């Protein structure tokens, strides 16, 4: 897909992020899977695209700070709702000696849960089908709730009819779902409308019990482009009937794997939007992810 100056909407949740440091202190920033991807996508594409974030926040000082930081990154705020009296969610990252992370969440009352159910959501939902690309994740599906997911799927159908590219990252978080069966049903329903699936192998195995990569690809015969992310191992790609692998880039020391997959997805999508092929896009994804995992937190400094 080579679209000049595309308009891209990423739908999801940004939270207050607390990084638990080795000395016991906490460093506060902001993060969330789709927001991480939005930031890296805006950095990759620069003035060559419009990147808007679609979410709901509160009217508190943390929400104000989020919006300021997004604007500084070049992300559009026109699709962000501000709900009076509400707050964003919060999470804490704890990392072990190998850089692997554990997340603790406080998000049950987060404003994003009403993102697509308020009267103010109607013009946003009406505008989304006119974007060139709609991007969302498994976490988006979870936090929107049943009614919000229904509105999202209606929007995906309309957007696809108008020629939009639908991109989905499977990020599966079991604690966000009432049951495994509920999550499976939601994922299967949206996959029918996805053009580019950016899947993490571990999440596919946890959600559906697939034994290997062949089983994952076999589950999505009608998805035009499927990318299977496998951490430090080569990613696997199937596109237009061709299948191939692209090795990951090794680093001397992994500091924090937070946003590794999100940054990969951003660089992959940016490359594809600029006319690069899947293999070239995967190389770009691995390159950015290799930089991200050498820095604490989800977002590395722009410099």
Give the whole-angstrom CA distance, residue 12 versus residue 267.
18
Q: What's the 3-state SS for the chain?
A: CECCCCEEEEECCCEEEEEECCCCCEEEEEECHHHHHHHHHHHHHHHHCEEEEEEEECCCHHHHHHHHHHHHCCEECCCEEECCCCECCEEEEEECCCCCEEEEEECCCEHHHHCCCCCCHHHHHHHHHHCCEEEEEHHHHHHHHHHHHHHHHHHHHHHHHCCCEEEEECCCCHHHCCCHHHHHHHHHHHHCCCCEEEEEHHHHHHHHCCCCHHHHHHHCCCCCEEEEECCCCCEEEEECCEEEEECCCCCCCCCCCCCHHHHHHHHHHHHHHECCCHHHHHHHHHHHHHHHCCCCCCCCCCC
Give the catalytic positions in this structure: 262
Structure tokens at 121: 């959501």
Residue 165: what are its φ and ψ, rounded to 5°? -95, 120
């Amino acid at each position: 897909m080579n679209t000049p100056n595309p308009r891209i909407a990423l739908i999801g949740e940004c939270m207050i992020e607390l990084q638990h440091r080795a000395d016991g202190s906490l460093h506060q920033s902001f993060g969330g899977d789709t927001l991480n991807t939005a930031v890296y996508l805006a950095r990759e594409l620069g003035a060559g695209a419009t990147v808007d974030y679609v979410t709901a926040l509160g009217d508190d000082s943390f929400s104000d700070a989020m919006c300021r930081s997004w604007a500084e990154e070049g992300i559009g705020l026109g699709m962000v709702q501000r709900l009076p009296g509400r707050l964003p969610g919060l999470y804490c990252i704890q990392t072990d000696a190998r850089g692997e992370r554990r997340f603790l969440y406080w998000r049950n009352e987060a404003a994003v849960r009403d993102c697509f159910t308020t009267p103010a959501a109607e013009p946003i939902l009406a505008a989304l089908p006119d974007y060139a690309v709609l991007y969302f994740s498994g976490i988006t599906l979870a936090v929107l709730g049943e009614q919000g997911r229904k509105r999202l799927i209606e929007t995906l159908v309309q957007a696809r009819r108008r020629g939009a590219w639908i991109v989905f990252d499977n990020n599966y978080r079991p604690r966000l779902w009432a049951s495994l069966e509920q999550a499976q049903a939601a994922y299967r329903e949206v996959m029918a409308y996805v053009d580019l699936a950016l899947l993490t192998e571990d999440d596919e195995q946890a959600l559906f019990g697939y034994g290997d990569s062949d089983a994952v690809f076999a589950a999505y015969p009608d998805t035009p482009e499927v990318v299977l992310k496998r951490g430090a191992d080569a990613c696997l790609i199937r596109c237009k009937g061709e299948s191939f692998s692209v090795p990951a880039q090794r680093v001397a020391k992994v500091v924090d794997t937070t946003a590794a997959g999100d940054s990969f997805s951003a660089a992959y999508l940016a490359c594809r939007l600029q006319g690069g092929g899947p293999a070239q896009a995967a190389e770009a994804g691995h390159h950015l992810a290799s930089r991200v995992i050498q820095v604490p937190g989800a977002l590395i400094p722009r410099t």
